Amino acid sequence: MESLAEQASLSVANTSQHLQVLRAARLVEAEKRGLFVTYRVAEGVEGLILSLRRLAEARLEELEQITQAFWASRGALEPVDGEALLARARAGEVTVLDVRDALEYAAGHLPTARSIPLHELRARLHELPPGVEVIAYCRGPYCVLAIEAVRVLREAGFTAARLHSGPPEWRAAGVPVVASP
C-alpha cells in the first residue's frame, strides 16, 4: 500500500480510497497480513486489460506510429521474444534482468530472472557476469524502464536487448511466472 501510493505519487489516503472502490467492484482483492494489507488484482481482470489494449492497438493507427517513432528515437532496441530464452538463460548464455521494483519482482517474475531495480542498476552493474548478454524486461510493451536499462547497460559495455513482453503477457500465454516468498 505504502508502495502503491508512492509509485502512483498519490497521497496514501487517496490510494486507499481508490482501492476500496476497486475492492467494492471486486476488481481487486485485499488480504490483511499483520500490520500490512496486500492487494491483488482479481482473477480475470488482467486478461480484460490485455483485451482492451489489443482493441486499442487494432483501432488506433496513430498509437502504433507514435510508439514506433518513440522506440526508434531511443536507438535500435530490437524486441526479443520467445521461450527459447529460458533455455539459453539456464545454460548461462544470457542474463535475464528484471528492472522493476523489488516488490513487483517478488509478486511474480520469470524463473531465471534476477532483480535489479532500474534506479539501482548503475551502482550494481558489478553483480552481472561480465561479457554475458543481458536481456532486460519490465512491465510490458508500454513500460519504459527496460528501454532505459538497455541504454545504461550498453554504455557500460554490455550487449543488451529488451524483452518486449512482461508478466501480464506471460501469464496470459501460460508461460510460468514464479513468486518469491
Partner DNA sequence: AGATTATTCAAGAGTTTTGTTGAATAGTCA
Partner DNA sequence: TGACTATTCAACAAAACTCTTGAATAATCT
Instruction: Give the binding site for its own copies (CB under 8 A).
Output: 26-27, 42-45, 47-48, 51-52, 55, 58-60
CB 125, CB 155: distance < 8 Å: no
Query: Which of the residues are catalytic?
Result: 138
Contact flag: residue 49 with DNA (CB under 7 A): no
**Residue whose cell numbers read 488484482:** 41
The binder of 26, among its own copies, DNA, none, by C-beta within 5 to 8 A per type, is: its own copies
Q: Name which position in 7, 25, 36, 127 contacts DNA (CB under 7 A).
A: 36
Q: How many angstroms separate the Cα of 1 from the Cα of each of 34, 55, 121, 147?
A: 13, 31, 24, 27
Contact flag: residue 25 with DNA (CB under 7 A): no
Q: What is the DSSP letter of 177?
A: -
Q: Closest CB to its own copies among 24 and 179?
A: 24
Query: How far is residue 18's CA from residue 42's CA, in Å, rounded to a whole number?
Result: 15
Amino acid code (one letter) for 141: P
Contact flag: residue 17 with DNA (CB under 7 A): yes
Q: Closest CB to DNA among 16 and 115?
A: 16
Ordered DSSP codes for 154-173: HHTT--EEEES--HHHHHHH
Among 33-41, 56-64, 130-138, 151-159, the segment contacting DNA (CB under 7 A) = 33-41
Interface with DNA (CB under 7 A):
1-2, 10-14, 16-21, 30, 32, 34-37
